[in-house]
Structure 1
Amino acid sequence: MSQNSLGSEVSIANVAAVAGVSTATVSRVLSGRRRKDDDLSRRVRQAAKQLNYSVNYAASALRSDVTNSIGLIVPELKNAMYSSVVQAIEPAVNAQGKQLILGIGSTADEQEKRIRLGISHRADGLIIIPVETESVVHFLEDVAEQIPVVQLLSQTYSNKLDWVGINETTVMQIIADHLSTAGARSVAYIGSSTNELDGMSLFTAFHMQMTVSGLSTYTEWIHFTAEGIDFGFQIMQGILSQHNFYPESVICADGLTAVGAFRACKDAGLEVPGDIKIAVLQDSEICRDGAFNAPSFTSVQLPWKRMAREAMTLVSAEHERKSWLPSRRELEPVLMIRDSTVVSS
C-alpha cells in the first residue's frame, strides 16, 4: 500500500509512533536527509516497512534542503501580547543562526495562506499563535507531519501538536487572590475583544475565577475594547456613572487602558489604590514606569524569553530524539505588585 504523508490511512505519525521518535525525525530518515545509520534510523525504516508506508517523494523533495529559517505566524502586531511574542522569538531564532520568516494573519484563511507561503519558502519549522484554533487544527496537524509545528499561547485543541503557553486560569487566580488580600470585594473588567481567541479565554477564566475568589461583579462592569487610553477612560467613566456605588478594583487588558481607567477615577474624585485598585493582565514599560502621570500598575509578567527558548527547542530541526508524543509546556506567570493596588502604610 503506497501512502502519501498527508491525510492517508497510514501516516508519518503512525510510523513515528511505532518507532518511538518524532515525525520530523521520520521525515529526515526516509527522505535521506539524516545520514546516520544508527539504531534510531533503523527503527524508523523498520517501522515504515512494518506499516507498508512509502514516502511521498514529491513532498519530500520540497524538504530536501535545510534553509535555517523558522516561520512565525501571529494574528496581528498591534496587540501588545503578540508583539511581545515577536520581540522574544526573533533573538531566540537569531541565537541559533536561523532566519525568522514573519507572517501576519487575523483569520484562519489568512493564516493558512501564510503557512503555505512558509512551506513554499521551505521553512525548517513553524511557530504559530492560531486564530479560530478549531478551524485550523487539522491543517496544522497535516503540516506537522512535514515540518515541526509549535503552537503558542492559545488553548490547544490537538493532541498531536507541541504547545508552549500559560494557563489563563492561573493568570486570573493570582490577580484575584491579590486583589482580595488587598481588601477589594468587587471587581470590574475591561478586557480585549472576545473576537480574539486569547481575549475570550481570559474572560472565561475571569468569570470562573472571580466566582471562586468571592469577588462580586456586575454585567455593567464588564466591557471589551481595543487598547488605548481614550477607550479605558470612556469605559471606566461609564462604569462609575451607572450606580451610586463603584467597583473596589478593576482588571484592565493592558497598560494604556489602565492609564485611561486611572484618569477616569481621578476625574471622579476617587483615589487609586485607596478607593479603587487597578491590575493589568500583561506587564509592560507603562506598567513598570508609571507613565502619563499614572502610578505604576500591578500586572502579570509573562515569561516571554523562556517561552521563546522552549518553542525553539521544540521546533528545532536538529531536535531528533524528541518523543513521538507531543510536548505541552505550561509556564508560570508572575504577579508584579506595584503602587496601583497597594496602599502605602
Structure 2
Amino acid sequence: MKTIVTGGAGFIGGNFMHFVVNAYPDEEWICLDSLTYAGNLETLAPLEGKKNYRFIKGDITDRAFIFDLFAKEKPDVVINFAAESHVDRSLKDPEIFLKTNVLGTVCLMDACREYGIKRYHQVSTDEVYGDLPLERTDLFFTEDTPIKTSSPYSSSKGSADLFVLAYHRTFGLPVTISRCSNNYGPYHFPEKLIPLVISRALNNESIPVYGKGENVRDWLYVTDHCKAIDLIVRKGRVGEVYNVGGHNERTNLEVVKTILRALDKPESLIHYVTDRPGHDMRYAIDPTKLETELGWKPEYTFDTGIPVTIQWYLDHKDWWEHIISGEYQDYYKKQYGE
C-alpha cells in the first residue's frame, strides 16, 4: 500500500510519519509538505535513508502539481494533516487559512476522485464545535455536536470538514474524519502553549498567559492521536467522523504551573496578557464512538505524558533552538539543494 501524508513535516504529521514508517516497513510512505514556517524537515531526519519513506516538497493548493503527483505516484490512501493551525495567526491573516485549509482540501479530494483513491482521511479539530461553558463539566463534544466555530482557524477547518462529507455524499468519495483535542508531545512548534512554556522557562523568560488562564483544554499525547488516526484509516467506517480525546482536562494556568514545577522555575515568570478575541472557554471530547467501534484507548494520561514531553525538550534543545533562531529553515537547502 502507498500512502501520501500531507503536512507530514509538521507537529502531528511528523509524529505520525515516525509511527507509521517504523510500524509498517512493507508499506510505502510519502511525506508531502510545502515547508511553511511550521514545517520542519529536521523533525523527519531520523527517517532519512529508510526504504519505505520519501519526502516531496509541494503545496496542496497547487492543482497542477497535485494532479501530476497523483498521476505519477498513484497512491492508495491520502491522509491530510496539512493546515494552517495557529489561532492567533488566523486573527491576523484569515485568508491563508481559507486557501490552505479549505481550497487545499478540495484540491486533494478532486485528485482523489480522479485517480480512484481507496481512502481519504481528513485530520480535523474539536475547535469546529465551538466551546463549552466552564460550569457545565458534564457536557462533552460528541460527533453529533453541531459545528459552531469561533475563530477564522476553526471556521476554515469546519468548512473543510463539510466539504469532505459533501464529497462523500455527492461523489461517493471514501472518506473519514477525525477531530482531536489539544495535542502535546515531541516536535511541537514553540509558538504553541506547552513548548512555549518549556522553552521560555528554561531561558528564564516571562511566560504569557491569556486572561486569567481559566480556559480549559483536553490534552492528548500526540502518539495516542497518531495511533487513533491509523486505526480509523484502516478500520473506520467510510463517511464517518470520529472524535479523539484524552480525558485530560486542565486549565491553561494549571498546565503552565505544572511545567514550572517540573523545571523548578518560579511562578513569578507568569505574565498575564490581554485575552485574545473570541477565546473559547472549554474543550472536552467524548471519544466513546472510537473506543467502542475500534477499541482505541489512550496510553497516556496528562500526568504521565507531560514529564515525558518535558524530558524530550530537555534532551533535544538543538531542535527547538534551531527553530527559535530560524536555522531549521535551511535544512531543506542543505539536504536537497535549491
TM-score, with length taken from structure 2? 0.37
Is the radius of gyration larger for structure 1 or structure 2? 1
